[in-house]
Structure 1
Amino acid sequence: MVPTAHFPGNIIFYLIFLGGLGVFSYLIYTRIRLLLFTQKEDRLSQIGERIKSILVFVFGQRRLLNEPFPGVIHLLIFYGFIAFSLGTITIIGEGWYPGFSLPFMDSPLGNIYLLVKDSFALLVIIAIVLAAYRRWIVRPARLEPSLDAALCLLFIFFLMVTDLSIVAGRIGLGTESSGLWTPAALTISQIIAGSGATEAGFRTLYQVGWWGHVLFLLSFLIYLPLSKHFHVITAIPNVFLRYLGPRGALTKLNLEDESAETFGVCKVEEFTWKQCFDFYTCTECGRCSDNCPAYRSDKPLHPKMMTVNLRHHLLDKAPFLLSKNSNTAVTDSGNGQEWNGAAMVGAVVGDDELWACTTCRNCEEQCPVFIEYVQRIVDMRRYLVLMESRFPAELTATFKNMENQSNPWGLGYTNRADWAEGLNIKLMPEVGEADILYYVGCAGSYDDRNKKVTLSLVNILKSLGIDFAILGIEEKCCGDAARRIGNEYLFQTLAQENIEVLKNYKFKKILTACPHCYNTLKNEYPQFGGNFQVVHHSEFLIDLLDKGMLKPARSFDMTITYHDSCYLGRYNDIYDAQRRILSAIPGVKLVEMERNKARSICCGAGGGRMWMEEHLGKRINVMRTEEALKVNPNTIGTACPYCLTMLEDGLKAKDMEEAVKTMDLAELLNNAL
């Protein structure tokens, strides 16, 4: 009965199967070989944590289920494929050996499997219809109704239909069980029988279903590496290989490498193999762009399309790369030929795209397959800054100010501790030791509005008799903005100078009110030997509240919405401390914005954007302010000096600065004591 039991069916099957598998294998081989021309990167540490990632994010579909409707659709298709796989193995096995059957199929377990597979075939068909309805009727902005998407849905649809046809045909021919364990296929068989189908009709149904299944399966396999649905193959390894280091740490450039011809990335083969593997894995779901503040404010940056364009560029350049004699050389000459295609930086990825990024990590937080964007963008920025000096003109002054005065404003470094005059605050250069080293940061030292936050925090520390000191004029900019803009040389200079100073003194913890300083000191200074215990003031203050050392007594009639800082939240998972602090203040009513915590929208200052003009699209800080005003607060709470500045500017732009105030947690708590 199996179509390959006799000649010529068996020969046709062998040719089709081996030919299809050969083409698929060749496509996979070329994709893997391309990665050999890229840069090395170790992604095989912490195996236990990687296995856990597979369980939670692949089999648990955690990120996909953050959006229930599309998440459930994908869940059904995903588990349908798993249930369907054993049946497909049986069909292929029959092609080679008529009568082939998996060992457990004649047991009760086999009956349960048949029921599961039959049920999922029907559920997947329903899911495909819903997915098509969503993409072509509902049409969310982030999903384009492409031919690629249509073909992939049709492949999956017909794989399920042909599977049901095979079983229904067997039931009609009496070679399958009564259909008790395959109710969907049984129903199809009964409908066909009721229409007067003969044995020949059921045989035709079976054979068409069998050959159709094999052809659709092999065609789909060949199509996968050529389409966005390559993630069917690459998603699981990409999740397994995800970055497990500190999310706030960018890679360290070896600026003393005398063999380096360039710094940063300007050619696709200068990315690491994992970065290029990300290009293969993108599902084009659009969650990255949907949550990108730059894209949402009509800037040129479109994270999804950046990844798609880089994938196309890599594949366009494949013949050139694969023609090289060496699998390790990274050069633009292959077999004596120069690459004459589009330049990656400037053409494939435009300058304005790169400078629009706020490095907020919302794209990475929402991506279901853990594609990494920020490092990639900073790599290209590094090339523009270090190799071509091609960056927004206003950054020239910013770099000069950091180099000469160690702060982005360019105010005198000797005035860094002026805010502390007359407050009897210990200076570390004078005392040499303290329990807490308060790293004030540039904003807290120089910006008049943020000096109020500094004074509030100092007042809390002094009221409790906490032993703390500041570095005074020995404190320098932490270098966060310089690194994210791409000036790695300037960042490393500042970092090494700060670390040298910090190592001169004894302290238990570094305390800072700036999430950017916090992230840099905690996650990036260890790359240069600066291993310190660093706490953000929100962590420090909630600890004081929990210990009963702080007891807010004054009550306020205040409705507060809290804005999550990207570098405190998505970078360092600090979300609850700030809300617990606000809830501890009598009379405070906390109301959440629609996008909060991990989905919070950036204020617009990150990634060095604080020091760049915003010429294109809408102002991100105004957009975030509008989101805050929707919940009718009289106060917007923050825990970041840059967020504070940006949101206050947003309120001014909306003529709401009198009705609504922006305040830091330290100010709010200090006022309540």
Structure 2
Amino acid sequence: MPTPPVNEATREVFWNIPHAGVIVMYVLAAVAAGIFGYGIWRRWRVWRQGRPVARLTPVWPRLLLVLRHVAAHGRLLADRVAGLYHFAFFWGFVFLFAGTVVVFIHQDFGLRIMQGRFYLYFQSAALDAMGLAAIAGVGAALWQRYVAKNPRLRRGIWSDAAILVLFELILVTGYLVEGLRIAATHDPWAPWSFAGLAVARGAWALGLGEATLRAWHAGLWWLHFALAMAFIAYVPYSKLLHLVLAPANVYLQPLRAPASPAPIDFEKAQRLGASAPSDLRWKDLFDLDVCTECGRCTAVCPASMTGKPLSPMDLILDLRNELRDGPGDGAAPRKLAGEVVRPEALWACTTCMACMEACPVFIEHVPKIVEMRRYLVMEESEFPETMQDALRSLEARGHPFRGATASRTGWYQGLGIVELTEPGQAASVDVVYWAGCAAAFDERNQKVARAFVTSLLRAGVRVGVLGAQEQCTGDPARRIGNEFLFEQLARANIETFERLGVRRIVTTCPHCFNTFKNEYPAFGGRYQVTHHTEMLAKLAGEGRLKARPSEAREQRVTFHDPCYLGRHNGVLEPPRLVLEELGGAELVEMPRNRTKSLCCGAGGGRMWVEEPEGQRVSRLRAGEAIATGAETVAVGCPFCMAMLDDAVKAAAGEREVQVRDVAELVEEATRWMETDGAGTGSAAAAAPHGGQVVKEHDAGQS
């Protein structure tokens, strides 16, 4: 029998299904759609309890993120094995769904598109190939969970098995139905549907007659349809809901400062912090239904790694279960902070954002933790005593280092920098250096501040400081949960900046950097903020800082990315450029680096919590640094310096390994500039670049 012309290629949509059966099919499809819609409506009622937050615009950048992280599986592929099998069955189902839409348009709208080359290339060959990819992907997922037994996938053992088996049955029955149709009709276009043709050949080999083929086809067709409708109806009542919500959550992600807490309107707020679902934002409640229980967040959490009672995944699921199931019949609603989630879990968080960076569906764990901390601090006054001491010191002294005896002005005595005291005086300098509390009151970090300023002066940069007018940015207060104290400090600092005319700020502290850059704008403080490694890289690129090549020290250096510099703000390359160009260093990387860096353990107020020896995050990170064989561990944060200095010494044993800030390595490498005429090391060096010599600070002034 000759093959018909290509433009006639097609198939009968409801072959072997009587007209009454088609009517029943549409009725059941409507029922499934209704059950699906009702489930979504139930979840929507929960989400709308939350406080408002604007996340719908700008549209185009958000759509690009959806393409990157949904279509291209950007974050999912960070775990190569899981990412690849998810990619296979995701795109397999996308193609199969598209094929179903084509059938719908062809049959129900009467637009005869399922024919000719499109039918052969897409509806036959492409769908068979992508369906096989989906079968392989689901099979790999089953293997990973139930044979390889990935320890991350420890929840939902039976429910996940049911879902994956349902997926596989839908796919396999689809091929059986296709193959039996081909076998019964001797479809001339069968070679294009190669998977179905393989099934048909099996049926022919068994010698099945047409009546038998039709009977099996009808039975499997209805089984396939029933499984598909059960799948659709089940989606809103299971973790399958993430199939619908995850792309939306990728679209709704914060475009800037993803871990920054939302300000509180103290005049209108009925409650401070989160104790009930209505205290959270609607996006926070939406997040809870998106969780896929993959465990990636917990796997990278430094608190979880070191045996503390915090699992970011469990925190999300505990909140979700409370919203879905409630406290039980007749029981009073439970407080989210302290009852649904244990206080010990909340206080274990370093706010490092590793969980958020790892989450493939962009759940925001850290803002929820801070909201619940706010309730414990401002409503219940229940939080660790050492954190209370830090906040009392902030209120009384403007810094969190209780018992510190140094002054804000002591570290820069004798340096050629300007102390800004007069209105508008910041216009007379190139940049205002914000030392921060650690550089002012910690002896080790005072050396870092002096080294950095010395390098700026060598490069001819006119530097101003606020001296005694500096006070904490408020970051520790905000992360611990005292938003009221944070706002007081923020407004006071902004007022000082406005009076002095401050517009350009450089700081050695990533926490100060993050606060100025991402959080002060909400209170009207908008500045050009630079981290000191960025400024050093810029000066090196302009040729204003140079290391003498013949005397550059050859040393192996590993750089520890501070969380609030790397993950929170994406500053990753400047420190490395500086180390390689000015530090005379051979840079070796720890396995966890850049946005995957492991926290030092100091963030989120943990700087002021004493950890048991076996639970110190800093010891874990120090071990990773020592394992690189580096002689120097370079840091770019005063808190990382404080945490890693002792930890590295303890982990190094008899080896001599130093912890040094990038600024110290640069100052040492460029010291020759003071004696070779390339620089003067004083304010006079500012003249070639700034056009003005600034009067040096009087060493006796305070």
User: Shorter-chain TM-score category?
Assistant: over 0.9
- Cα distance 1:558–1:15, how it changes in 2: closer, same or farther (>3 A)? same
Within 5 Å, which residues of 2 pair with 1:124-523? Answer: 124-144=134-154, 146-174=157-185, 176-247=187-258, 249-257=260-268, 260-317=269-326, 340-411=332-403, 415-429=407-421, 432-433=425-426, 434-523=429-518
| Residue identity matched to 1:120 | M
Shift of 1:318: 10
Percent identity of equivalent pairs: 36
1:663 aligns with 2:663: no
Q: Residue deviations 1:286-316, cap 9 Å, x none? A: 1111111111111111111111121111111
| Partner Cα separation in structure 2 for residue 600 and residue 485 of structure 1 | 22
Instruction: Give the secondary-structure state (helix, strand or coil) at the position aligned to 2:341.
Output: coil
Return the match for 1:629 from 626, 630, 633: 626
Within 5 Å, which residues of 2 pair with 1:62-141? Answer: 62-89=74-101, 103-113=112-122, 114-141=124-151
Instruction: Give the secondary-structure state (helix, strand or coil) at the position aligned to 1:127.
Output: helix
- Cα distance 1:177–1:159, how it changes in 2: closer, same or farther (>3 A)? farther
Instruction: Give the secondary-structure state (helix, strand or coil) at the position aligned to 2:191.
Output: coil
**Contact 2:558/2:634, CA 8 A, preserved across alignment:** yes
Shift of 1:205: 2.9
| Partner Cα separation in structure 1 for residue 486 and residue 192 of structure 2 | 66
| Partner Cα separation in structure 2 for residue 57 and residue 494 of structure 1 | 38
Instruction: Give the secondary-structure state (helix, strand or coil) at the position aligned to 1:232.
Output: helix
Q: Residue deviations 1:533-578, cap 9 Å, x none? A: 1111011000000000000123213111110000000111100001
Return the match for 2:636 from 631, 635, 639: 639
**Contact 1:360/1:567, CA 8 A, preserved across alignment:** yes
Structure 1 stretch 631-640 or stretch 100-109: which is displaced more? 100-109
| Partner Cα separation in structure 1 for residue 193 and residue 432 of structure 2 | 70
Q: Residue deviations 1:240-270, cap 9 Å, x none? A: 111123335321111232xx22111111232
TM-score (norm 1): 0.93
Shift of 1:617: 5.8
- Cα distance 1:159–1:318, how it changes in 2: closer, same or farther (>3 A)? farther
1:49 aligns with 2:61: yes
Shift of 1:645: 1.0
| Partner Cα separation in structure 1 for residue 632 and residue 99 of structure 2 | 60
- Cα distance 1:621–1:108, how it changes in 2: closer, same or farther (>3 A)? same
**Contact 1:414/1:473, CA 8 A, preserved across alignment:** no
TM-score (norm 2): 0.89
| Residue identity matched to 1:162 | T
| Partner Cα separation in structure 2 for residue 453 and residue 245 of structure 1 | 29
1:5 aligns with 2:18: yes
Shift of 1:91: 6.7
Structure 1 stretch 64-73 or stretch 198-207: which is displaced more? 198-207
Structure 1 stretch 634-643 or stretch 178-187: which is displaced more? 178-187
| Partner Cα separation in structure 1 for residue 526 and residue 374 of structure 2 | 25
| Partner Cα separation in structure 1 for residue 404 and residue 635 of structure 2 | 28
- Cα distance 1:449–1:223, how it changes in 2: closer, same or farther (>3 A)? same
Shift of 1:519: 0.6
Q: Residue deviations 1:150-196, cap 9 Å, x none? A: 11111111111121122111101117443121101101110121011
- Cα distance 1:90–1:49, how it changes in 2: closer, same or farther (>3 A)? closer
**Contact 1:406/1:413, CA 8 A, preserved across alignment:** no
Shift of 1:61: 0.7
How many residues are matched? 650
- Cα distance 1:42–1:108, how it changes in 2: closer, same or farther (>3 A)? same
Can you give the 5+ residue segments of structure 1 that lack an aligned partner in the other structure?
A: 321-337
Shift of 1:13: 2.8
| Residue identity matched to 2:292 | T
Shift of 1:107: 2.1
- Cα distance 1:319–1:392, how it changes in 2: closer, same or farther (>3 A)? closer
| Partner Cα separation in structure 2 for residue 177 and residue 319 of structure 1 | 61
In structure 2, the residue matched to 1:580 is: 577
**Contact 1:593/1:628, CA 8 A, preserved across alignment:** yes
| Partner Cα separation in structure 1 for residue 653 and residue 445 of structure 2 | 20
Q: Residue deviations 1:32-65, cap 9 Å, x none? A: 1222222221111111111111111111111111
In structure 2, the residue matched to 1:326 is: none
Can you give the 5+ residue segments of structure 2 that lack an aligned partner in the other structure?
A: 1-13, 671-702
Instruction: Give the secondary-structure state (helix, strand or coil) at the position aligned to 1:564.
Output: coil
| Partner Cα separation in structure 1 for residue 272 and residue 626 of structure 2 | 44
**Contact 2:579/2:662, CA 8 A, preserved across alignment:** yes
